[in-house]
Structure 1
């Protein structure tokens, strides 16, 4: 069952989940800790692909509590890496960094093929959340070097779940597309597509869409259209769960190209599909959940640290009391030990419940933030109201600096706060680049931002502090 779960992990998520669930029942009956933990791993990973993040977190923690997870560094690192995947979707970069450091420490001296691949995955994940390009490239290069020096015979022999060359090269290609380096991007994107076939991916829409972006950047709209249509067909055939997130964006690219070609019939067909899909996607925003999840996203890290420190102090005091009792009143040792065990179990239960609640509420942030960014890119009228729902105190903070700031300037602040460049803003709002530069210059003066201070960074720091 575990071998089947591994075989289907990149081919059929639901089948992998079914096989892993059967494996867990057998392992639980046999009380086999290692097989229980591995079955929980495959269940959790399948649930991530199926966007069942809350259930996935439950099984990750269940696996980590198994004795075998402490004894097997590869197993423990694999489970921790699933946590990174969930934190990535929540944009919780600090927690991603903390878990990544745990994995690198855990596998520091591990030279197994599986250990090296997980190290490479972890290093590349760190490169994606690093603010400085030079440091990001260094981490990505380290990851690439590790993969390059693993012989194909050894790489092909590891479990399917560990293989990630296809995704790695695709991510690298997308990075070079963002930097407007299509030739470098092409090398990685076609290498990614090659490995997607070797690694047995049934759903290849991610790779088709990236190649479409490559040809779009090269101004070859006909080839771009071919790959965008392939990506859409692939989602319909093999990966319907991906449509909610990627479908509207693909449909927009497709109808835009048909509009460019002057094909009114196909333009209208795909535009209508886009409009319906986008409206359905936007309906999922919930004001109360967004507000609560946003607060937890900003406060979870500091709250967890403060709570952990307090609980650690309690444990230390209990240990000191136990030692004192052993010296002076040995017969009280049993009672003190029982109290210590009770508090430890209470601590673990409280931390687990807190993490599950925080994760459940925070999971809504990813979809909400994607919706806001898509609305910004599409220059929708709903963008500003949606942004205010996600960041309800943003306007008040800006107006506290200058009450005369206009709504149009607040919208420009929102674009900059989301990390869009001057060129991005110009493209999305249909304005000249120089106009956006002038607007930014006037905005900086009205907010009294120092000349050498980056506007985007200033807005982030000002809002968070």
Structure 2
């Protein structure tokens, strides 16, 4: 039997056998993809809920699986997720390492969308480390790749990524107070937003709304800024994690000098961070903002308290970062359970050493900076307390001398209380306002009578009439009520 006749006779059989072999490879590849994508989904879920360490754990499982099955796609995707979580943890050196490893994978040449996402996140990490030039290089590369995508299949993804890049540029120009450039990129963002479907409850929409608010703040249109901040809190998708919005609201109220509302929103931010156990660098920064606000409110005691809280939380953050480094080390390198085909431990050792050195250096410089701040703040606190005591003594002296300037000076020193009092009781006469001021300053009935040259009985009658006018019953303490007005204006 010749070879040709043999092949003809058994052609169907050979084709059938070849199909079985190829289908086996196909099933195996499909199983690898399904398992890898399931783990990637879990990693993404943890990341969205601000759990970067847990996100890394799932991404590391994908990476091990990728090495075992030699999947360039899963390697690239796992590197990307590890890198962005390290960036959230402020481990920027390690983040840059894994972003660049992802870009070196051959799979990236076949997935332009993933490459753009990586370059966008890589750009923001460069900016966090102070490499402004590299930030612009990566964003422009991402934009160039995006312009080369012509397929209608990725049209929505393309518009969404265009939006993200525009917002990225916008954030930079907002940070550097370049309003004209910020306006240009916001106009681009406006166009992309109008072209997208199902954008309302997305992270991109939140970034867009907050950036619009910041723009209106910078052009001195606070009412418009507040509208967009309120919109950011309405979004159903972010009702659980609203610390960013409350922080921005605090900044807004601080800028318009409504310090009690600023404190209220900063405290709401801390509540959200604590309740969700969010591992994020904004945490100590909020304490610093509250301290600054209480300085404006001339409350040295609370300003000092929040300065101490800032230092405690900064130390806790450093310990948290060290713990995270340990957890990541455990996940990346376990000599007793190393799978064949995984990358050399030397690479992981090198990365972990970089992370530890960078974290230690950051902590050292932070501690040195904190020491100088503590000394400066103590001097400032003593100076502030001295000035506050002098101001208080001045107001008391004016009250005791029955000076006509007393009420005006009281209004200047206790501006928030006075404004709240007049908002709640706008019909008070000048005499009644002065009477409330003296009670607020803890003058007793006999003292008020002495310094205003009237009988104590007349003071009691005046207090009784004022109670009735203000809607207070006889059981309510007049001073406690006035003090509560101050607390209701935001100081809690």
User: Scaled by the length of structure 2, what TM-score is found?
Assistant: 0.52
Which one is further off, 45-54 or 211-220? 211-220
2:156 to 100, 113, 119: 113
Asked if structure 2 preserves the Cα contact closer than 8 Å seen for 1:166 and 1:193, the reply is no
Tell me if 1:98 matches 2:112.
no
Residues 167 and 207 in structure 2, CA contact (< 8 A), matched pair in contact too: no
Residue of structure 2 aligned with 1:46, choices 62, 85, 90 = 85
Q: Distance in 2 between matches of 1:367 and 1:183?
A: 42
| Gap change, CA 1:8 and 1:182, over 3 Å in 2 | same
* Structure 1 match to 2:268: 230
Hey, what's the Cα distance between the residues in 1 that align with 2:284 and 2:109?
A: 36
Provide the C-alpha distance between the structure 1 equivalents of 2:191 and 2:308, rounded to a whole number of angstroms: 46
- Go from structure 1 to structure 2 and tell me whether the alpha carbon gap of 1:227 and 1:143 turns closer, same or farther (over 3 Å shift): same
- Deviation string, structure 1 residues 290-339 (Cα, Å, up to 9, x no partner): xxxxxxxxxxxxxxxxxxxxxxxxxxxxxxxxxxxxxxxxxxxxxxxxxx
Question: Aligned to 1:151, what secondary structure does the other structure show?
Answer: coil
Give me the whole-angstrom Cα distance separating, in 2, the residues matched to 1:83 and 1:365.
20
Q: Which segments of 5 or more consecutive residues in structure 2 lack a partner in the other structure?
A: 1-38, 319-349, 381-492
Match of residue 409 from structure 1 = none
What RMSD in Å do the two structures reach over aligned CA positions? 4.2
TM-score (normalised: structure 1): 0.55
Mapped to 1, the partners of 2:287 and 2:187 lie a distance apart of: 33
Matches within 5 A, 1:231-310: 231-237=269-275, 238-242=277-281, 246-256=285-295, 259-260=297-298, 266-274=302-310
Q: How many residues are matched?
A: 302
Matches within 5 A, 1:132-211: 132-152=178-198, 163-195=203-235, 197-198=236-237, 200=238, 202-211=240-249
Q: Distance in 1 between matches of 2:209 and 2:119?
A: 23
How far 1:269 moved relative to its partner?
3.2
Deviates more, 1:66-75 or 1:174-183: 174-183
For 2:157 and 2:364, the matched residues in 1 are separated by 32
Contact 1:228 1:253 in 2 (8 A): no
Displacement of 1:229 after TM fit? 0.5
The answer (yes or no) to whether the contact 1:228–1:254 under 8 Å persists in 2 is no
Q: Which runs of 5+ in 1 are unaligned?
A: 283-352, 384-465
Rounded Cα–Cα distance in structure 1 between residues aligned with 2:310 and 2:216: 28
Partner deviation per Cα, 1:235-259 (whole Å, 9 max, x = no partner):
33322432565144233145336x4
Q: 1:372 to 1:60 in 2, by over 3 A?
A: same
Equivalent in the alignment of 1:217: 255
What does residue 170 of structure 2 align with? 127
